[in-house]
Amino acid sequence: MPAQQGTARHVSGLVRFNAAPAGVAEALLFDCCASRRWAERLSAHRPYPTLDALLAAADEAAYDLSRAELDEALAAESAAAPHPGAPPAALMALGAAHAAYESRFGHAFVISLDGVRPEERLDRVLAGIRSRLGNEPEEERVVAADELRRLARARLTFAVTTP
């Protein structure tokens, strides 16, 4: 697709987002990051002149989440689905890794796979869980918050740029 078409789609999607009733915008935002305060804050500061401005505001709002708001958002997350062609042994390993992570930290493992090819996602998730299981709870909370922020950015970009 030519760059102009992609830019036009971003602009038209942003125009729709900016013009949407508050409840509609908040619902879209809540689907990107399940923190009511995050969604309300971003909705209340509309209109955004560019997608980059919206994403910058999303980052700032994510950095400002309280402990309870981060807990709310993390509680709504679920484990990412593996690649459809993953072998059964890999699926078992993934299930066990997710269970160990959730047992240790009390929420689903979150990782942004934006830009990762589908056939590489399983390995990336398994490696991420294995590496992050060694984190102390507060260290992991910081990592999970950053991954959640990255996920929210990717989801928001998709939501605003997809017709």
Q: Are residues 9 and 67 in the same domain?
A: yes
Q: Are residues 88 and 64 in the same domain?
A: no
- What is the 8-class DSSP label of residue 85? T
Question: pLDDT per residue over 100-127, tens digit each?
Answer: 999 999 999 999 999 999 888 888 999 9
Q: How many domains does the chain have?
A: 2
Q: Residue 91's domain spans which residues? A: 79-148
- Ramachandran area for residue 115 (φ above 0: left; ψ -120 to 50: alpha; else beta): left
The whole-number pLDDT of residue 8 equals 52
Q: 20 φ, ψ to 5°?
A: -65, 145
Q: What is the largest CA-CA distance in the chain?
A: 48
CA angle 5, 31, 149 (to 5 degrees): 85
Q: Are residues 58 and 83 in the same domain?
A: no
C-alpha 114/C-alpha 119 separation (Å) is: 13
Q: Are residues 144 and 83 in the same domain?
A: yes
Q: Are residues 65 and 7 in the same domain?
A: yes
User: pTM of the full predicted structure?
Assistant: 0.88
CATH assignment at residue 97: 1.10.3330.10
The whole-number pLDDT of residue 84 equals 72
